[in-house]
Amino acid sequence: MEASANSNNKDNALQLLQALERRIAQQDKYFNQLNERLERMEKRIELCGRTAYARTSNSNIRGFRQPLHPISLPNGDDVPKGQFPLNQGDFLELTDQSASNLIALYGLVIPDGVPESTGTKLKILADHIGLPW
């Protein structure tokens, strides 16, 4: 009988350890998911900070040759080299196609009923990057 009781105690202890291992594995999975979410939030906050800085800097542009600060793309990437105007003068000289390309890169939308002229596209882009229009 004593051997049977010891066997039951060992079985119970083993079951408790297995349950504890499962619980720890679940907690590890939960903490990993939480870590991933926090990392995404950190990246998003950092992106918002860079965007706010760029827009604020662009809103204070006082000359056609003063450099513009590019806004990162929605996924956090930089605008491909050569596609973002270097300064306000370059911005005002964007072609219709270049403006359309930037609008597409940024995922911006031209509101319904608004004519899709180059001027309208430049206004939408100017609003997005914080450039006074």
- Whether the predicted model's global pTM rises above the 0.85 cut: no
Give the pLDDT of residue 3.
Answer: 65
pLDDT tens, N- to C-terminus, the chain (133 residues): 566 767 788 889 999 999 999 999 999 999 999 999 999 999 999 999 999 999 999 999 998 999 999 999 999 999 999 999 999 999 999 999 999 999 999 999 888 877 789 999 999 999 999 999 8
Give the pLDDT of residue 114.
Answer: 72
Give the pLDDT of residue 5.
Answer: 65
CB atoms inside a 10 Å sphere around CB 52: 12
CB 101 within 8 A of CB 83: yes
Residue 58 structural domain: 2-129
Domain total for the chain? 1
